[in-house]
Amino acid sequence: MTNELNVNEDLEVRARIAKRCTWIGFFVNGVLSTLKIIAGIVGHSGAMIADGVHSISDFVTDVVVIVFIGVSAKGVDKFYRYGHGKFETFATMIISMALMAVAIWLFWTSGERVIASLSGASIEAPTTIALIMAAVSIVAKEALYQYTNHVGNDLKSMALIANAWHHRSDAFSSIATLLGISGAMFLSAQWRILDPIAAMTVSIFIAVVAVKLGMPAIRELLEVSLPESQNLEIGSVIGGVDGVKAFHNLRTRKNGNKLVLDFHIKVAPEMTIVDAHHIASEVERQLKEKFGDIMANIHIEPYNGENVDGMNKCVD
């Protein structure tokens, strides 16, 4: 019980740090999205308005992260014996879906403006206020990315890292917006089409980021095994513990920021239960030392001369 309480206290500290980081992004995104949309309307820039809408999606996903990180901090209880880590993974998937929705909307609406321009419709030239706002957005969003990504890596939080990349996708969006507005402002009238083209380019960046963030979350929710390279590292640790004659039935998956490992170890058949338990505890200790926060379910069996490979894994 004491160990369970300590784990839950650590989760609460982790959640407080993650929430503080996300609240900062929340307020910055709120201010930026408002200013960008105003600058886009006043400055006659469709790309800046689209960029502002993207910032609103950042604002919404900040709320998602705050809510779901709070849930994931509840730790283990009588209903969730593996903890609430999957809620954070679910939040990451929601963020990726929100990014993809924004990307599709931007591509569609900007494409309509490009087609209209090619058909002879006139596009109004953007003004300086839109250009300045794009530059401000790049600096602010890249700073948010660096801060949120740093905290996310420290906490090993998929949701925070996903949100960091959402900030950076907004910075990429603002770079494309800056280039499009510059071209539309300083080149001849026929080049004003660069403004909606910039918005279409932004949408492609966002879609790529959405896929990169979403696929690992989906794999985790479907309980796909860890990468083979990581499974080999895990097997090497298990088989290298003194007293482990062999191991097999290794199954791995992720639950939020934790690794969940199920496997059988084989020990000398004449060994006492107490000694066998000490070996299992040492296996768990070394795995935690190597991989951090894990949940290990270890089944102990007698070793009866089974064939093993170089890291003591049964090969039969």
Query: What is the Cα–Cα distance from 95 to 65, expressed in whole angstroms?
Result: 8
Query: Is the pLDDT reported for residue 15 higher than 80?
Result: no
Q: Are strands 258-267 and 294-302 parallel, antiparallel or unpaired?
A: parallel
CATH 3.30.70.1350 segments of the chain: 228-302
Q: Which CATH superfamily is domain 228-302 in?
A: Cation efflux protein, cytoplasmic domain (3.30.70.1350)
Question: Could you identify the residue written with the tokens 């879609």?
Answer: 207
262 - beta bridge partners? Answer: 251, 297
Q: Which residues of 109-133 are buried (b: 16+ CB within 10 A; e: fewer)?
A: bbeebbeebeeeeebebbeebbbeb
DSSP characters for 126-173?
A: P-HHHHHHHHHHHHHHHHHHHHHHHHHHHHT-HHHHHHHHHHHHHHHH
Q: How confident is the model at residue 84 (pLDDT cuts 50, 70, 90)?
A: low
Euclidean distance between CA atoms 250 and 234, whole angstroms: 9
pLDDT in tens, 169-211: 778 778 877 887 887 778 766 777 777 787 787 778 778 878 8
Mean pLDDT, residues 78-99 taken together: 72
Q: What is the mean pLDDT of the chain?
A: 81
Quote the CA–CA distance of 143 and 156 in Å, as a whole number: 20
Measured between alpha carbons, how far is 232 from 237 in angstroms, rounded to an integer?
9
User: What is each CA distance from 122 to 6, 45, 116, 266, 276, in whole angstroms?
Assistant: 65, 13, 8, 77, 80
pTM: 0.60
Tell me: the pLDDT tens digits for 252-266?
988 766 788 999 999
H and E: helices and strands count for the chain: 8, 3
In this predicted structure, what is the pLDDT of residue 2?
42
Q: Could you tell me where in the chain the CATH 1.20.1510.10 domains are found? A: 2-221
Fold of the domain built from segment(s) 2-221: Alpha-lytic protease prodomain-like (1.20.1510)
Model confidence over 129-145: pLDDT tens digits? Answer: 888 998 998 999 899 99
What is the predicted pLDDT for the residue at 292? 79
Cα torsion for 186, 190, 192, 195, to the nearest 10°? -120
CB 160 within 8 A of CB 213: no
What residues contact residue 280 under an 8 Å CB cut-off, 6+ apart?
A: 265, 298, 300
- pLDDT at position 70 is 66
